[in-house]
Chain A
Amino acid sequence: MSAEAHDDHGHHHKETFITKYIFSQDHKMIAKQYLITGLFMGIIGIAMSLLFRLQLAWPEQSFGIFSSLLGKWAPDGVMDPNVYLALVTIHGTIMVFFVLTAGLSGTFSNLLIPLQIGARDMASGLLNMISYWLFFLSCVVMLGSLFVEAGPAAAGWTIYPPLSALPQAQPGSGLGMTLWLVSMAIFIASSLLGSLNYIVTVINLRTKGMSMTRLPLTIWAFFVTAIIGVVSFPVLLSAALMLIMDRSFGTSFFLSDIFIQGEVLHYQGGSPVLFEHLFWFLGHPEVYIVLLPALGITSEVLATNARKPIFGYRAMVASILAIAFLSTIVWGHHMFISGMNPFLGSVFTFTTLLIAIPSAVKAFNYITTLWKGNLQFNPGMLFSIGLVSTFISGGLTGIILGDSTLDINVHDTYFVVAHFHLVMGISALYGLFAGVYHWFPKMFGRMMNKNLGYVHFWVTAVCAYGVFFPMHFVGMAGLPRRYYTNTAFPYFDDLADVNVVITIFALIAGAAQLVFLYNFIHSMFYGKRAETNPWRSNTLEWTTPVEHFHGNWAGEIPHVHRWAYDYSKPGHDEDFVPQNIPLKKGEEELNH
């Protein structure tokens, strides 16, 4: 791409409101669009979780908020069981795909890939724009599904057939499920376009001197995430298409020998287990699609604020690659008791527990990065440390769930819910928050209020453990997930007060997010104006001016002479040396 051509295009060219703010092809604007859409979806997803937490703590009680929000689905303010299932389904879908995939990876891949590798924009601005608008469309369809007569999809976010395939099985499997599938198909198209763009950009558009071994770990994480996405999302698309065929065109990919509502259906020879395989072939890598960008952001924020190189750069890259590779061969650990051949269970136990090794390496490297640092506790730093904490707490219980034997009795209980919320839900959310606090000055040219950031972090951090730590006990007591209430079993009566504690922490955590939203919106307009490089960081995005324009750098794109982590390097006056500063005479380059 010629630099000159783009300069022209850059600041002299006048843009209309529509090309600048709506159908923008500028990666920075698209990043902001992703972020704001993702946050909007996040509000809905989190609000839903609060609604069903109310039901779990005070089952079958009447709440005014239920009748006002759920209308006829909460007669007399009491939540209907079908609505409960719909809420958990849509909460899961929204949080996993719309917030933590598109909202996290979409925002920061778009913002940081061109800026940190030294490119004027993505390889294809047009594809990038289409990718965002497809994402937007999929959000609209998903939210639209909330308003259909029989209610939205309610088969769990994993939409296992036959439950999801047969409208006779539950009301949510009618039009609601059709819209869910359509929305996901559009979402996958969006994700693939985005991912291809990220991969091409990282491979082709790095500035002079930006070798792969000098890439910041954020870029490594986004790059590898995009590759996992391209490998695994199409498989979910195929599963969705086959499910659509089964639902609407009478095929039997996933269905066989079914008798429902007094009628034998014609389906013969299919198997729901096949769907589970296809779903989890995406579903498990998806965990890392969510998590790797958060870990990438953490690496960057942690090193910058520790004023210290990230410890073991090469090991960090190697562990990202190892996690990416292993993530595609562990999906069967979701299916130990699905009726799959037990020998396969053994294989998947083996690969699953292997993934603990690169994860452990990452955790230890983060901790060592802090050791003898000069820690600057900006809000982004707090969330990064918080991420490492929840990543460890949640990751460790994975040793139990990944072991096929132990999985037998905790599978699908609240133990699983606690595990994955800590290790991927909360961790990835912390990554998202760390990213927002850290790159807000880059995105909006203003600073977020740090005190509100501190409050946001501490309340959230306490509540996150307050919600999910006790939840392990609920699971180990044997309570299955996705139960509308546990009052049908007197055996679980003594779980009532744990559920109340969890819900109270959840409500407080929800309130704390309002602090973040206020801070975000207020700072966007009234925040203190940012300096060019407020965190005194090494990466290239901080060499661009605060004012945004298409093309990023006014003059020539800076050349890169060193890796991104020369913090507190002896022989320099400042405690940071940006990547575009040439090596001093006799200075040794370091990038391990």
Chain B
Amino acid sequence: MTALLTITILILIAIAIWQMTKIFQLTQVARENSQVATYKDNDFQGKLMYVFLVFIYLITIYSFWAWGDVLLPESASEHGVEYDRLMWISFVLIFFVQTVTQALLHYFSYKYRGLENTKALFYADNDRLEFIWTIIPVIVLAGLILYGLYTWTNIMNIEEDDDSLVVELYAQQFNWKARYAGQDNVLGDANVRFLQDYDGKNLVGIDSSDPNGQDDIVVQELHLPVGRQVIFKMRSQDVLHSAYMPHFRAQMNCVPGMITQFAFVPTKTTEEMRMLPEVAAKVQRINKIRHENSQELIANGEEPLDAYQFDYLLLCNKICGASHYNMQMKIIVESEEDFNKWLAEQATFAEVIQ
């Protein structure tokens, strides 16, 4: 069926191309065959340039209309608000420049198409004009650079205080683990050398001789308390991975042999995020798609898809091998009490290796 469809489409495309060639040919004087553009070509192609400008605008507008709602919902972290603002400013600027320059480019292409009596103006230089369009980008970019660097420094300057929660994100082909520092809020030393200790129960290679590691807690699902700074220490045991948490505007590579870090303050619990109208609408849309797909599966005698509900995601965003596309961990942001309750139920390293 697909093969048939593909062939049909290819044939239709071929016919379309052939027809277009015909149209271009018909616009030309029959006997002329120099293969250099004539006035008629210039006229037609120049007009097409104008049409193309309209096309660029239309595809921009259509994309926003059709796919504007696939974009990430509002940020769920403190610095993310700042991030979104900078993104928004950059986008306004980009759209302004894009709209104006594409208009000039294509309008000039249309306006100055070479017709029978047109002549070009010998105009090679204008220092003032060039100065203007050098200095304007300089000023605009200087503003963007300063704003960007200010935000960057704020995000990346991680200051640990008593209240911060230290969590290790541990990456391996193809899953994530998280390690909490326990009562002492200090992560015990760890190294891949210790991974084989205790019959593989030492999941992230904690050094059992380090007292700080005894109360560490290793889990497969990331829980975070809302409103508290979380400092992530990233490790990888095999290849490069990248811990990407798009809803928090957070990402950092996990590099074998070194510890990298990133920090943010979650501002919305998972429940609150699910209540956001844009998230709720997205979930509804996704479930509609899943329902439609399920009909097909049921018809084929397979299991239908589960209904989807929103959860924060941790994805791997650095190519890491065959199952890179499925290296994920669920993140749950909850109230401080719920978080403490959950954490208390987890086994410490000392308990696990007993």
Indicate whether A23 reaches chain B with its CB closer than 8 angstroms: no
Enumerate chain B residues within 8 angstroms of A65, measured Cβ to Cβ: 6
A482 to chain B minimum Cβ distance, whole angstroms, is: 5
Q: Encode A117-150 as 1/0 by CB contact (under 8 A) with B.
A: 0000000000000000000000000000000000
Indicate whether B242 reaches chain A with its CB closer than 8 angstroms: yes
A271 to chain B minimum Cβ distance, whole angstroms, is: 6
> Residues of A at under 8 Å CB distance from B?
58, 61-65, 80-82, 85, 155-156, 160-163, 166, 169-170, 255-260, 262, 264, 269-273, 306-315, 337-339, 342, 345-346, 349-350, 353-354, 356-357, 360-361, 363-368, 370-378, 381-382, 385, 388-389, 392-393, 396-397, 399-400, 403-406, 408-409, 411-413, 447-452, 454-455, 458-459, 461-462, 465-466, 469-470, 472-474, 476-478, 480, 482-486, 488-491, 493-496, 498, 507-508, 511-512, 515, 527-528, 534-535, 565, 567-570, 575, 590, 592
A sample of 6 cross-chain residue pairs with beta-carbon separation below 8 angstroms, ordered by A number, consists of A353-B141, A406-B86, A473-B70, A482-B319, A491-B286, A498-B70
Indicate whether B37 reaches chain A with its CB closer than 8 angstroms: yes
Q: A378-B36, A403-B148, A406-B86 are known contacts. Are A367 and B108 too (CB-CB below 8 A)?
A: yes
A382 to chain B minimum Cβ distance, whole angstroms, is: 7
A511 near B14 with CB under 8 A, answer: yes
Q: Encode B245-276 as 1/0 by CB contact (under 8 A) with A.
A: 01101111101111010100000000000000
B42 near A377 with CB under 8 A, answer: yes
CA distance A236 to B83 in the complex (A): 34
B253 near A568 with CB under 8 A, answer: no
Enumerate chain B residues within 8 angstroms of A314, measured Cβ to Cβ: 125
A482 near B258 with CB under 8 A, answer: no
CA distance A413 to B239 in the complex (A): 19
Q: A337-B251, A337-B253, A404-B149 are in contact. List 4 more A-B contacts (CB 8 A).
A: A81-B322, A337-B252, A406-B83, A498-B67
Q: A466-B59, A511-B17 are known contacts. Are A162 and B148 too (CB-CB below 8 A)?
A: no
Enumerate chain A residues within 8 angstroms of B211, measured Cβ to Cβ: none
Closest chain B residue, CB of each to CB of A472: B63
Enumerate chain A residues within 8 angstroms of B155, measured Cβ to Cβ: 405, 408
Partner pick for A354 among B10, B97, B141, CB 8 A cutoff:
B141
Q: A61-B2, A311-B125, A367-B108 are known contacts. Are A264 and B255 too (CB-CB below 8 A)?
A: no
Closest chain B residue, CB of each to CB of A341: B156
Residue from the set A373, A485, A488 with the largest chain B CB neighbour count within 10 Å: A373
CA distance A296 to B181 in the complex (A): 58
CA distance A373 to B41 in the complex (A): 16
A364 near B286 with CB under 8 A, answer: no
B112 near A372 with CB under 8 A, answer: yes
Partner pick for A413 among B41, B256, B317, CB 8 A cutoff:
B317
Q: Encode B289-313 as 1/0 by CB contact (under 8 A) with A.
A: 1100000000000000110101101
- Give how many B residues have a beta carbon under 8 Å from the other chain's beta carbons: 134
Residue from the set B71, B138, B153, B246 with the largest chain A CB neighbour count within 10 Å: B246
A252 to chain B minimum Cβ distance, whole angstroms, is: 9
CA distance A82 to B251 in the complex (A): 25
Partner pick for A258 among B86, B192, B311, CB 8 A cutoff:
B192
A491 near B156 with CB under 8 A, answer: no
Q: A342-B153, A462-B55 are known contacts. Are A575 and B63 too (CB-CB below 8 A)?
A: no
Closest chain B residue, CB of each to CB of A159: B319
Indicate whether B318 reaches chain A with its CB closer than 8 angstroms: yes
A292 to chain B minimum Cβ distance, whole angstroms, is: 19
Indicate whether B353 reaches chain A with its CB closer than 8 angstroms: no
Stretch at the interface among B87-95, B212-220, B337-345: B87-95
B59 near A527 with CB under 8 A, answer: no
B55 near A465 with CB under 8 A, answer: yes
Closest chain B residue, CB of each to CB of A495: B70
Indicate whether B346 reaches chain A with its CB closer than 8 angstroms: no
A371 near B108 with CB under 8 A, answer: yes
A396 near B98 with CB under 8 A, answer: yes
A485 near B325 with CB under 8 A, answer: yes
CA distance A81 to B325 in the complex (A): 9
A264 near B196 with CB under 8 A, answer: yes
Indicate whether B208 reaches chain A with its CB closer than 8 angstroms: no
Q: A160-B240, A482-B324 are known contacts. Are A454 and B45 too (CB-CB below 8 A)?
A: yes
Enumerate chain B residues within 8 angstroms of A373, measured Cβ to Cβ: 108, 112, 114, 120-121
CA distance A336 to B30 in the complex (A): 59
CA distance A485 to B98 in the complex (A): 32
Enumerate chain B residues within 8 angstroms of A309, measured Cβ to Cβ: 122-124
